[in-house]
Structure formats: C-alpha cells, structure tokens
Amino acid sequence: EDKVVQSPLSLVVHEGDTVTLNCSYEVTNFRSLLWYKQEKKAPTFLFMLTSSGIEKKSGRLSSILDKKELSSILNITATQTGDSAIYLCASNSGGGADGLTFGKGTHLIIQP
Amino acid sequence: DTAVSQTPKYLVTQMGNDKSIKCEQNLGHDTMYWYKQDSKKFLKIMFSYNNKELIINETVPNRFSPKSPDKAHLNLHINSLELGDSAVYFCASSTRTGPLGEQFFGPGTRLTVL
C-alpha cells in the first residue's frame, strides 16, 4: 500500500521566519509528487514534481524532489500570516486515472 | 466559471437516512474522484471514474456508490448513513493528457450524521 509521511505535523513560527516542510513517500510506480495548500476549504494546487533535483519555485514558495531519498521538501521564506494553512503532500503512482495518496499534512501557523 | 462544484456545501441528516452529494466539473477532464477528509484532516481516496468506468474502489463500505451520468458529473450516493460517515467529502477531477497527477478539487461537502 502506498504511503506518504509528512513532518512535522504542526509548526508554529513568527512572521518573517523561513520554514521547511518535509514529505517522504513509499509508492509503487511513482509518477509525481504534489504539494497542496488547504485553508478553510478545498486543497489548492501548489507544485507538482516529477524530476529529481529540479526546484520548482513560485514567489516565496519552492519545492524540490529527491528521488534517491524518496522525499521532498517545501520551503517558505519570509512567512506571512496568510501562509497559515495545512500543507498537504501527495503522491501519484499512476496516470491521471489513479487517486492521490495524501500525507496527514503539516499544520503551519504563522504568528504576527 | 467554477471549475469543480459540489452541492450541497453542508448536509446534516439522521442516522439511517440515504443521501446524495452532487459534483460537476467544467474543465473537460475525463477522470473524476471522491475523497473523504476525516476530523483529523486526513484526505483519503474513495473512488475514481474514468469514461464512466470505476477505476479505484478503496476499502469503502458498499453503502457508498458513485454514479456518473456523463463525463462532467460524478455523484456520490450514501445509504443507511452512520455516525462514522461524518466528514468532509471532496470531489476532484483531472485529465490523463494533462500534467501527471494534478487534480483540481471542489469546495467540499461537510456531512454531519446525527
């Protein structure tokens, strides 16, 4: 059974800090790893990673995949209170027809 | 212009009742999914449908049945509701020809069984 583990499960930091969220996976037929941000409603897509060592970046957020270590990290620099959310990591082990296997998420709280 | 929509947003019902949640996507995707998110915020796949065929059926009770009248819709029917069915249910969609694995989620339906 595919498995995705995230750490830490929760994290409280101050505005302006940099945070690193971790995700490790054990999946058969790995295709891609995805990061989502979930605030009050639906998860919203952040990044999809398929190639090892290539960083994806969007503003203050960046993510990288390490296929050798079966892991990924999500970095957020200069955090803001609006970054407070649950960050979900998910693996896709097939084509688009397969469901995603999610980790339990990291609950990130940014204090002013 | 909503990409993935679900109705209702909230559903409160008694144990033993039968209820349905509707999902529609206007993205032209060929695959749709249902996920359950429990009180601890853990998202788990329940079903996926591709071209009207069930692709995944995880260890979900057969009281739950997905029904897809066409590619743009995947409804979830739940019979004989139980307390443990209380959760947020998310619909999602994706395409095989698009980025591998990127799924778009609906706003969720919060089901409360009393």
Q: Which tens digit of pLDDT belongs to each residue from B30-51?
A: 889 999 998 888 888 888 888 7
Of all residues in chain A, the percent with pLDDT exceeding 90 is 71
Q: Which of B44, B55, B104 lies at the smallest CB-CB distance from A97?
A: B55
pLDDT in tens, chain B (114 residues): 669 999 999 999 999 999 999 999 999 888 899 999 988 888 888 888 887 677 767 678 889 999 988 889 999 999 999 999 999 999 999 876 544 568 899 999 999 999
Of all residues in chain A, the percent with pLDDT exceeding 70 is 96
Q: What is the pLDDT of residue B86?
A: 96
Q: How confident is the model at residue A36 (pLDDT cuts 50, 70, 90)?
A: very high
Give the count of alpha carbons within 13 A of B8, CB side only. Answer: 9
Please indicate if any CB of chain B lies within 8 Å of the CB of A31. yes
Do A64 and A15 form a contact (C-beta atoms < 8 A)? no
Region label for B69, one of left (φ > 0), alpha (ψ between -120 and 50) or beta (otherwise): alpha
The nearest CA of chain B is from the CA of A100 a distance in Å of 7
- Over residues A69-111, the pLDDT tens digits come to 999 999 999 999 999 999 999 998 765 456 788 999 999 999 9
Task: Evaluate if residue A4 carries a pLDDT over 90.
Answer: yes
Please indicate if any CB of chain B lies within 8 Å of the CB of A88. yes
Q: What is the pLDDT of residue B63?
A: 94
A-B CB pairs within 8 A amount to 80
Q: What is the pLDDT of residue B100?
A: 58
For A21, A76, B53, B87, B110, the CA distances from B13, given in Å and listed in that order, are 38, 41, 30, 12, 11
Query: Would the CB atoms of B55 and A86 count as touching at under 8 Å?
Result: no
Q: How confident is the model at residue A2 (pLDDT cuts 50, 70, 90)?
A: confident
The nearest CA of chain B is from the CA of A16 a distance in Å of 27
Do B48 and B71 form a contact (C-beta atoms < 8 A)? no
| Residues counted in chain B | 114
Q: Which of A38, A97, A104 lies at the smallest CB-CB distance from B48?
A: A97
Query: Would the CB atoms of B104 and A45 count as touching at under 8 Å?
Result: yes
Residue B63 in tokens: 């009281």
Query: Would the CB atoms of B43 and A92 count as touching at under 8 Å?
Result: no
Q: What is the pLDDT of residue A15?
A: 97
In angstroms, the CA A23 to CA A35 distance is 9
